[in-house]
Amino acid sequence: MPPSPEPRTIIASYGRYLEDFVVGDVYEHRPGRTITEADNIQFSLLTMNRHPMHCDHALAARSEFGKPLVNSGLTLAMVVGMTVDDVSAKAIANLGWSDIKLTAPVHPGDTIYARTEVLEIRPSKSRPTQGIVTTRTEGYKADGTVFMTFVRNSLVPKRGHGLED
């Protein structure tokens, strides 16, 4: 039996440097997340959103949806969170979100996923060791229904200039 190799220490790394992004690449983010009623209620109360469509089953049953809706702030937060490992884990800052569109309802019990396309990469004019990555993200349900889209700009370091370097 050959001798076993020397034990190593491996430091986990995730995210991408500016040079790792390619325009047109699409990231299918995993894992997905099944949104529970407790998630919806807790988030709604935490953010002081007392809209009855999030917490009043009797009222929601009379609506065009027939059941409660998940707070859209929660779905946005979850979809953004799903993108972090692939898009912004090494980012210096989020520079903003735009064109946020809510295109279909999400209900407690729905499982959601996200995918992101790289739209543009450019060096920063004022920060020579960083650049701006523009992405477009879709949130979609397990049945394929797209329920949300948004565009995001992230300030990303070049290799050798990140917080971990």
In the chain, how many domains are there?
1
For residue 4, being part of any structural domain is answered with: no
For residue 133, being part of any structural domain is answered with: yes
* CATH number for 146: 3.10.129.10
Question: Percent of the chain, pLDDT > 90?
Answer: 87
> Contact 63/53 with Cβ under 8 angstroms?
yes
For residue 9, being part of any structural domain is answered with: no
Expressed as residue numbers, the domain containing 128 is: 18-157
**pLDDT confidence of 164, banded at 50, 70, 90?**
confident
For residue 164, being part of any structural domain is answered with: no
Question: Can you tell me which residue has the tokens 């407790």?
Answer: 38
Measure the N-to-C terminal CA separation of the chain; round to a whole number of Å: 39
For residue 2, being part of any structural domain is answered with: no
pTM for the model: 0.90
Q: What is the pLDDT of residues 5-58, one digit of tens each?
A: 888 887 777 899 999 999 999 999 999 999 999 999 999 999 999 999 999 999
For residue 153, being part of any structural domain is answered with: yes
For residue 84, being part of any structural domain is answered with: yes
For residue 7, being part of any structural domain is answered with: no
Torsion region of 96: left, alpha or beta (phi above 0 gives left; psi -120 to 50 gives alpha): left
